[in-house]
Amino acid sequence: MNADHLAGAGRRGRLGLRLAAVAVAGVTVATLAPTAAVAAGVEVPAAVGAAGTEEERRRPAVDLGPELRALVERGGATAAVGEARENGRRAWRDAAGVVDLGSGRAARADGRFRIGSVTKTFVSTVVLQLVDEGRLRLDDPVERYLPGIVPNGGAITLRQLLNHTSGLFDYLEDQRFLYHDDASLRSYLAKGRWTDFRPEDLVAVSAGHAPYFAPGQGWHYSNTNYILTGMIIRKVTGRTWQREVERRIVGPLRLDATTFPGSSPGIPGPHAHGYVQLPEGPADITLINPTVADAAGNGISTAADLDRFHAALFGGRLLSPARLAEMTTAVPAPMIAAHYGLGLIRYDLPCGEVWGHTGGIPGYNTILLGARDGSRQFALSFNVLEGAETDETGAAIDAFFMKAACGAGPAARDGRVGSPLKLLR
C-alpha cells in the first residue's frame, strides 16, 4: 500500500504506523532501533535453522543467513523469515528473532505474515487470466464495469489502474488514515484498527480529492486503483476477488498457507507478532481489521508460498505468453526508482533486472522478487517496530536484497552501488 497510514507527524516524523510506500530518501527502507527488543526485556535469538530435510540442510548457493540475522542483531527487527529458490528447488530458508516479545519463543521459518501490497500481484494475475478468457479487456474504461463509481471513469482504463497511471488519489493519503501524535495512535490501537470498510467507502474517500494528473499523464502509486480492480473482478465474475484468487491461484498451486481474510483480524497458523512503539514500550499491532487494505493489501502468506507463486507466474503456469508480456511491460515509476508493470515492479540492478513486489501493513514488511525467466526467487518478511526506526534496518534490508538478487559477487558487495528498493504498502 502507499501513503503513510496513520503516519505520525512531529516527533514521529511521519514514520509511524505505515500502510504506505516507504519512500525513504536514498536507498534505505523503514528502519527499527537495534535496542527495541532489548528494551522490552527479551533476548532475541539470532536464528532458527531450516527444517530438517537433506535438501534444506545442504549448503545453499547463496547463504542469506548472515543478512537475515543482521535484521535482528543490528537492525533490531523483532523477527525475520526468508526463503530463496533456484531452478525449482529450495536453496535456502531461515528465521531469526522471536514470535512475540512476551514469551521470547523463536520465530519459525514456516511462519505466516501479512503481505501488504504483494497482494496486488495476485489480483493483477486474476485480471489477466480474465483477459485471456475474453471476459475483460485492459483498455476498457472503468465506467464500463463500475458506472458512476469514480469521477472521469470513462477516461480511466483497467490497464491504468493496474500500472498506477490513472491519476486517482490514494485514499490512504487522506488525513483520516494518518496519525499525528501518541494520542491519535492510542485511539487507533483502541478503536480505529477494528473499523470495517467497504470497498465503496475507500473509493469515496479517494473521490473526495482531486486527481494527481489526467489519466495516462504520469505515475503515482495509488491503492485506490486496486480497490477498484477488486470491484471489477466481482462485477465480471459474480465472486469476490478473494474467492477468485483462491480458486484460480491458491488452490491450483496448493498454496496452503496463503489466505485473504476479508475482515478477520487474526493471522491463522504460526506467525510472529507485529509491534508499534509507544513511550512506555512496544504495543502489539498483530490484530487488525484488514478491510482497510482490501484488494490493495489484504493477504497473508509464507515465504515458501510466495516463492512458489512467483515461480509459477514467471514459469508460464498462470498466464499465456501474451498476457505475461503485457504484465511485464513497465512504465517509469520515479517515486520508487523503478519501473512498474501490471501489478509488478521491475528493479534494474548491476547484475540484471528482478521482478516482483514489496509490501507492508502495520507491523509487517514483505519482499518478493526474482528472475524474469522464473529460475530464481526470494521472499523475505520482517517485523519492524513502527516508530522506533534508525538507519540500521535500512542498511540490513539493502544488504539482504542485493545479495539475494545478485549473489555474492562484486555487484552485491560494492557499497557504492546501493539498492533502489522502496517498500510499497
Of 117, 166, 206, 301, catalytic: 117
Indicate whether 401 belongs to any domain: yes
Indicate whether 423 belongs to any domain: no
pLDDT at 1: 53
Q: Is residue 117 annotated as part of the catalytic site, yes or no?
A: yes
Indicate whether 338 belongs to any domain: yes
Which is nearest to 249 in space by CA: 81, 92, 122? 122
pLDDT at 53: 45
pLDDT at 205: 97
pLDDT at 393: 80
Instruction: Encode the chain (425 residues) as per-residue pLDDT tens digits.
Output: 533 333 333 333 332 333 333 322 222 232 222 223 333 333 444 444 444 444 434 444 679 999 999 998 888 799 999 999 999 999 999 999 999 999 999 999 999 999 999 999 999 999 999 999 999 999 999 999 999 999 999 999 999 999 999 999 999 999 888 877 889 899 999 999 999 999 999 999 999 999 999 999 999 999 999 999 999 999 999 999 999 999 999 999 999 999 999 899 999 999 999 999 899 999 999 999 999 999 999 999 999 999 999 999 999 999 999 999 999 999 999 999 999 999 999 999 988 999 999 999 999 999 999 999 999 999 999 998 877 667 788 888 899 999 999 887 666 665 444 566 777 77
284 DSSP β-pair partners? 275
Model confidence over 216-275: pLDDT tens digits?
Answer: 999 999 999 999 999 999 999 999 999 999 999 999 999 999 999 989 999 999 999 999
Indicate whether 187 belongs to any domain: yes
Indicate whether 356 belongs to any domain: yes
Query: C-alpha grid cell for residue 395?
Result: 542498511
CATH code at position 383: 3.40.710.10
Pairing of strands 385-386, 275-278: parallel
Indicate whether 80 belongs to any domain: yes
Indicate whether 2 belongs to any domain: no
Q: Identify the domain containing residue 51 by its residue range.
A: 10-413
Model confidence over 170-226: pLDDT tens digits?
Answer: 999 998 888 778 898 999 999 999 999 999 999 999 999 999 999 999 999 999 999
Indicate whether 424 belongs to any domain: no
pLDDT at 420: 66
How many domains does the chain divide into? 1
